[in-house]
Amino acid sequence: MSEPRTALITGANRGLGHATAAELRRRGLRVIVTARDGDAAAEAAARIGPDVRAHPLDVTDPDAAGRAAARLGAVDVLVCNAGVLLDAGDDPLAVPLEVVERTLAVNLLGGWRVAQAFVPGMVDRGWGRVVFVSSGTGSFSAGLWTGAPAYSVSKAAVNGLTTMLATCTKGTGVLVNAVNPGQTRTRMMPMAERTPEQAAAGIADAATLPDDGPSGVFLSGGREIGW
């Protein structure tokens, strides 16, 4: 019997990331919960189960992902979930560009940085799954949402990153996809009806795709949607 795969989830101390970590553990994966605050990561891991590991990982720290990769060893599944929504209600012509920069630093560069730290190892080992938690607000086919312009642009950029990484890992055994979890009841969107546990199922599905599964696609509710 083969060893369980190891999954690392960013921003997993609460909400959707925490629910995704719990779902992946339920599916038999070894799980590493990461968060900017190490104590918060440890507390979240303990809530999921005694066998769940925790590690501090601030995705905006230029060196943190590399340190984590060196200390944690092989990671087979990477879920880039850490994200912020700082500009709800702003207008593209008025949103402070400092807010745009902060949003991109977490939502785009954070995931990019973590991918650079962990995906090369997956390629070397010939197997991996990478999931970027995106949003319908960043879909060109649906129309970018102007009510949170920094957030929307950051998610459109995440979608672009997904397609690039899928292209450069084609044929290596690594699958890279983005998931739109839909409106989910988290701190970002407390009035949403969909629970984190419900939304986490779709992310976990993308993180456990079979070897003949798709790569470089945008998934929602188990189906491909337009970029």
Longest dimension (CA), the chain: 57
Q: Which of 112, 118, 132, 151 is catalytic?
A: 151
107 is catalytic: no
Is 80 within 8 Å of 10 (Cβ atoms)? yes
User: Distance between CA atoms of 227 and 219, rounded to whole angstroms?
Assistant: 10
Contact between residue 196 and residue 218 where contact means Cβ atoms under 8 Å apart: no
Nearest CA to 196 among 11, 53, 39?
11
Q: What are phi and psi of 130, to 5 degrees?
A: -125, 130
Q: Rounded to the nearest 5°, which phi and psi values hold at 197?
A: -65, -40
Report the C-alpha gap between 196 and 179 in whole angstroms: 14
Cα separation of 75 and 165, whole Å?
17
By annotation, the residues acting in catalysis are 151
